[in-house]
Amino acid sequence: MPEKTADKVELSKATAAESEAAAPETATPAAAKARSLWSDAWYDLRRNPLFLISSVLIVLLLVMAFAPSLFTSASPRDADLAKHYLQPPNWSHFFEPDWFGYDGQGRSIYARVVHGARASILVGVGVTLLVTILGTAVGMTAGYFGGLVDALLSRITDVFMGIPYMLGALVILTTFAERKIWVVIAAMAFLGWTTIARVARGAVVTIKQSDYVVAARALGASTTRIMLKHILPNALAPIIVVATIALGGYIAAEATLSFLGIGLAEPTVSWGVDVATGKQQLRNAPYVLIIPSVMVSITVLSFLMFGDAVRNALDPKLR
């Protein structure tokens, strides 16, 4: 009997030791920290080919815009009409100004494509930043305060939404004798904030009913602190999605306005300006029009792909 009792004690100790050794392994998943929406989104984006391709193209375009000397040493304004008038593209040597040919004034199309990225991307990024800031401020104010403030701001938003975007931009830009980059940005942003305002308002109306917002208000937190610390971080996801998708549209809108002769103009180097100049040579030298048009298309497509990938990553319903 004593031997059997000792065996039982040793068996119970061994079982307890095994359970203690196995406990950390079983508790690890439960104790693991839950990932946030942003970490989940980054996890998905890193494995999305659409995001990777668009990111590479966007980075390349940004480097081209702000460091054009890395891509070409030629000046976009140097013209040799007698030597290079409508000279076709030439890939037989490594002299890069000849790669895309020359326009009707003897200027290198390749050099103008590289240097034209700056104006087009500056307009797109500048308009996107302005409309995001303005639209978010209006939408958050309307959604948080509600009542008369919401009604007034919503009706103002409806009025601006009722103005055709391109027509309104044309009317505004025709009032300026000299249309520089900042003028085009301001004119486009003046009419383009309404969509983000509506998205921000809808997000804030939902978030302000959350328990953590109610608790912060009960603890005496100020309105500014609640909006900036509690509501804004949780409302950013849909705003970022709309802004990234809209950025490509603003670049296309700038090219359209410049093509119509209302946007940027010489001596500013822009893809839209080159498209407007190339339309006169469409039959004789179509590459003068096609090459800057393709660059606009690639840029717009890159930002649209980027925006779609971000939307799929940030929307839990699409997972």
**Is it the case that residue 267 has pLDDT exceeding 70?**
yes
Return the structure tokens found at 163.
């103005």
User: Which amino acid, 85?
Assistant: Y
Instruction: Give pLDDT, residue 258.
Output: 87
* 143 contacts: CB under 8 Å, gap ≥ 6: 150, 200, 201, 202, 203, 204, 205, 208
Cα of 149 vs its chain's centroid, Å: 30
Return the structure tokens found at 210.
């959350």
Euclidean distance between the first and the last CA atom of the chain, given in angstroms as a whole number: 63
Per-residue model confidence as pLDDT tens digits over 6-29: 444 444 444 444 444 444 444 444
User: Which amino acid, 242?
Assistant: V
Cα of 213 vs its chain's centroid, Å: 29
Q: Provide mean pLDDT across the span 156-182.
A: 88
Query: What is the Cβ-side half-sphere exposure of residue 226, based on CA atoms within 13 angstroms?
Result: 22
Query: 27-50: string of b/e by CB count within 10 Å (b at 16+)?
Result: eeeeeeeeeeeeeebeebbeebee
In degrees and rounded to multiples of 5, residue 108 shows phi and psi of -70, 120
> DSSP of 5-29, one letter per residue?
HHHHHHHHHHHHHHHHHHHHHHHHH
Per-residue model confidence as pLDDT tens digits over 32-89: 455 666 677 788 888 888 889 999 999 999 999 889 888 888 888 888 777 878 887 8
Task: For residues 87 and 132, give the distance between their C-alpha atoms in angstroms, rounded to a whole number.
Answer: 43
Instruction: Give pLDDT, residue 316.
Output: 59
Per-residue model confidence as pLDDT tens digits over 207-249: 888 888 888 888 888 888 888 888 988 888 889 889 988 998 8
More confident residue, 202 or 318: 202
Sign of the four-CA dihedral 280, 283, 285, 287: positive
Return the structure tokens found at 6.
């000792």
Do the beta carbons of residue 211 and residue 204 sit within 8 Å?
no
CATH of 38-318, one of 1.10.10.410, 3.30.420.40, 1.10.3720.10, 3.90.79.10: 1.10.3720.10
User: What integer best gives the mean pLDDT of the chain?
Assistant: 82
Q: Binning pLDDT at 50, 70 and 90, where does residue 96 land? A: low
Instruction: Give pLDDT, residue 141.
Output: 93
Relative orientation angle of helices 232-259 and 287-314, to the nearest 10 degrees: 170
CA proximity to 192, closest of 232, 235, 242, 146: 242
Question: How far is residue 305 from each of residues 220, 258, 300, measured CA to CA in Å?
Answer: 43, 24, 9
Domains of the chain, by residue range, sit at 38-318
pTM above 0.85, yes or no: no
Q: Provide mean pLDDT across the span 290-296.
A: 91
Number of residues in the chain: 319
Task: For residues 310 and 319, give the distance between their C-alpha atoms in angstroms, rounded to a whole number.
Answer: 12
